[in-house]
Amino acid sequence: MRVFLETFGCQMNELDSELVRGRLASLGYRFVDDPDAAEIVLFNTCAVRDHAEQKVRSRVGIVGSQKRNGREVILGLLGCMAEREGLAILQKHPQVDLLCGPGELDRLPTLLENLRRTTAATRGERVALAGNRSRRTATLTAAEDELESLDLSRSFDPEGSSRPWSAYVRITRGCNKFCTYCVVPATRGAEVHRPPDAIVEECRRLVDRGVIEITLLGQTVNHYRYTHGTALTLDGREAPQVGPGLGAFRKAPAAGERVTTFAMLLARIHEEVPGLERLRFVTSYPRDLGDDVFDVLAACPRICRYLHMPVQSGSDRILKAMNRGYTVAEYLETVDRAIERLPDVSIAGDVIVGFPTETDEDFAATERLLRRVPFKNNFIFKYSPRPGTTAFDRLPDDVPDEVKRYRNNRLLALQAEVSRDVHAREVGRTLPVLFDRVGSIPLERRSDMTAAGSGGGVELRVAGRRTADDSMPRAEGEASRQWQALGRTAGDLIVAVDVEDEIAAEAMRGRILEVEVTAAEALLLRGRRPMPAIAPIG
């Protein structure tokens, strides 16, 4: 059967979709790029922001109207929206046939198979599996954690990936933090940590298949901590285990306890997977980034010195209302310690404006924080209340939308200044860049690059004209466009290099190449490939 799968939201969802795709492909399902050509349409949804949910509803509406007009197609919602809304979605959208929360994705093939059979037989049966098992089973045992099998049986297909050199590896699932605005603890359940051997093995297999960059994923990735010998499968292998309380990050392991910390896991992957050229991790919870992590980053050259460390607000009062668990001073202490130990570290953040009760003074404190920290970029969001969160239940959404918009725009402008300053420091340096995409822009328009994103994800849009200093030759027919190869430094800075044609740009994708940085803009660096040295004559 032909399947169309579209993913919304964060990197965790992208990985879930890749795993679902691999599992279904191994069972004979065929994936297509055109939803109209599919017999099964799946949307892997995100519930973190209202905007993402609206997009899904609009897609559901389109397929729904096709179904009313006689199209026979199975429509399924996967992920956090399916989990958060549960059966209410089926009542609101009768065109939806299947719901599957993020904690149930291992069961998707069975659900689909059942649905295919019942639909064929009865027309109109619908199936739903939502209600995350991992929060329900706080004393998770190895045998119950079938989700692990989805990661373990991963069939990474370089042929089927648009970026076959790059992959995500999940090290923790779920979250124990309960920030008051966030649905993740409810939709993805309690924090569960995968065994280190399974993670290292997955990295090794990916590198064997040509991957050169791996990003370790966790909602609070640096909370990774695995206590050996406490959770075993029936055949004696180590199994996923529920994360420890937050106090575990401040004390040494008890006598006789054998623990793999996040820093130890990073060091293990670096040492045991030597073919891996870049190792990244997102997202870090600021308070518990210890010196042990910074020491490993300093000692291991293939681990990227990049920290995505959301701050959310510069006001202690708002941080408390958000239940973030740190103060501004504690956040700054972590930043200062990181910069002291890793002078070339690159830091990105997330900020929410217009959280309930946020005053002009609170917002001014956030502006001061953005001026103080050399953020390479910040993902800035207007607060939107999410059903199922503490803030939705207890805090009135009392900041008017026009005030949120005003603050959002002010922070975007301020961050553009900060980013330009951070980027300017790189001019004149030669940096290794992993090229991953190709762009082309009309020559008559000025070059600019806009980045926007959610939960760590970035969309690039090329909008503008290049400067007139280009003297590179171009293929016939290319005279009116400038082709660019785009990539990222180890510190996750975007770099654009002008090239002669599309073929040259494509040839750079998936390769790490040195680039001389020649100019800095708010959203990217510009550079050129160093000229090869010419041997002296005679």
**Chain residues in the site for ligand SF4 (CB under 6 A):** 175, 177-179, 182, 184-185, 219-220, 285
Task: Find the shortest distance in angstroms from Cβ 191 to ligand SF4.
Answer: 9
Cβ nearer to ligand SF4, comparing 185 with 196: 185
Task: Find the shortest distance in angstroms from Cβ 188 to ligand SF4.
Answer: 8
Task: Find the shortest distance in angstroms from Cβ 506 to ligand SF4.
Answer: 37
Q: What is the DSSP letter of 354?
A: S
Write out the E strands in 393-478. Answer: 430-442, 449-454, 457-462
Sheet holding 127-129, edge to edge: 30-31, 2-7, 40-45, 74-79, 98-100, 127-129
Helix (H, G, I), strand (E, B) or coil at 423: helix
Cβ nearer to ligand SF4, comparing 211 with 217: 217
C-alpha dihedral, 165 to 423 to 522 to 163, nearest 10°: 0
Cβ nearer to ligand SF4, comparing 222 with 227: 222
Helix (H, G, I), strand (E, B) or coil at 23: helix
Cβ nearer to ligand SF4, comparing 175 with 496: 175
Task: Find the shortest distance in angstroms from Cβ 404 to ligand SF4.
Answer: 18
Cβ nearer to ligand SF4, comparing 41 with 184: 184
Concatenated DSSP letters for 84-113?
A: HHTHHHHHH-TT--EEE-GGGGGGHHHHHH
Task: Find the shortest distance in angstroms from Cβ 321 to ligand SF4.
Answer: 13
For residue 453, give every residue at least 6 positions away whose Cβ sits within 8 Å of its Cβ, in sequence order, or none.
Answer: 379, 459
Task: Find the shortest distance in angstroms from Cβ 405 to ligand SF4.
Answer: 22
Cβ nearer to ligand SF4, comparing 79 with 185: 185
* Long-range own/partner contacts, residues 118-123 (CB < 8 A, 24 or more apart): 119/74
Number of helices (H), then strands (E), belonging to the chain: the values are: 17, 24
Q: Are the C-beta atoms of 132 and 103 separated by less than 8 Å?
A: yes
Cβ nearer to ligand SF4, comparing 98 with 395: 395
Task: Find the shortest distance in angstroms from Cβ 351 to ligand SF4.
Answer: 12
Cβ nearer to ligand SF4, comparing 249 with 285: 285
Task: Find the shortest distance in angstroms from Cβ 132 to ligand SF4.
Answer: 13
Q: Which residue has the tokens 């040492």?
A: 271
Amino acid at residue number 468 = A
Listed residue (440, 458, 446) closest to 505, CA to CA: 440
Listed residue (29, 51, 55) closest to 43, CA to CA: 55
| C-alpha separations of 364 from 412, 446, 509 in Å | 14, 33, 42
Task: Find the shortest distance in angstroms from Cβ 246 to ligand SF4.
Answer: 11
Cβ nearer to ligand SF4, comparing 185 with 439: 185
List the beta bridge partners of residue 462: 449
